Amino acid sequence: MTEEKMKKMYSLKEVAELTQTKPQTWRVWVMRGKSPILYVKMGKIIRFPATEVERLLAGRPATRRVGRPSKEELAAREREKRFEFEEANNDAA
């Protein structure tokens, strides 16, 4: 991947045209933190990295989700913490 491609940013209007959706759809998703691609706010203008836009158009999932983790992710983290705690207690006993 070239650095030039990584630095390219799409505007809200360009992303809406590429995905054939209304710009307001993207604006709402971004404000709620549910955007399937990364975004960068520069002032009040929302910009999307070219690599993530291409990933979205190809039908692949985003590299990183923006916003709060899902309930499943939170439950998995809790299970890991509980497992580590139980192992530490077993080692101490």
Question: What is the residue whose two structure tokens read 């809406």?
Answer: 16
Express each pLDDT in 15-56 by its tens digit. 778 877 777 767 666 666 655 555 566 656 677 777 777 777
Q: Looking at the domain assignment, is residue 43 inside a domain?
A: yes
The pTM is what? 0.43
One-character DSSP codes across 5-51: HHH-EEEHHHHHHHHTS-HHHHHHHHHHT--SS--EEETTEEEEEHH
Total of domains in the chain: 1
Q: Looking at the domain assignment, is residue 72 inside a domain?
A: no
Taking the C-alpha atoms of residue 75 and residue 3, their distance in angstroms, rounded to an integer, is 37
State the DSSP code for 63. S
Q: Looking at the domain assignment, is residue 24 inside a domain?
A: yes
Q: How do strand 9-11 and strand 40-42 relate by DSSP bridges? A: unpaired
Q: Looking at the domain assignment, is residue 28 inside a domain?
A: yes
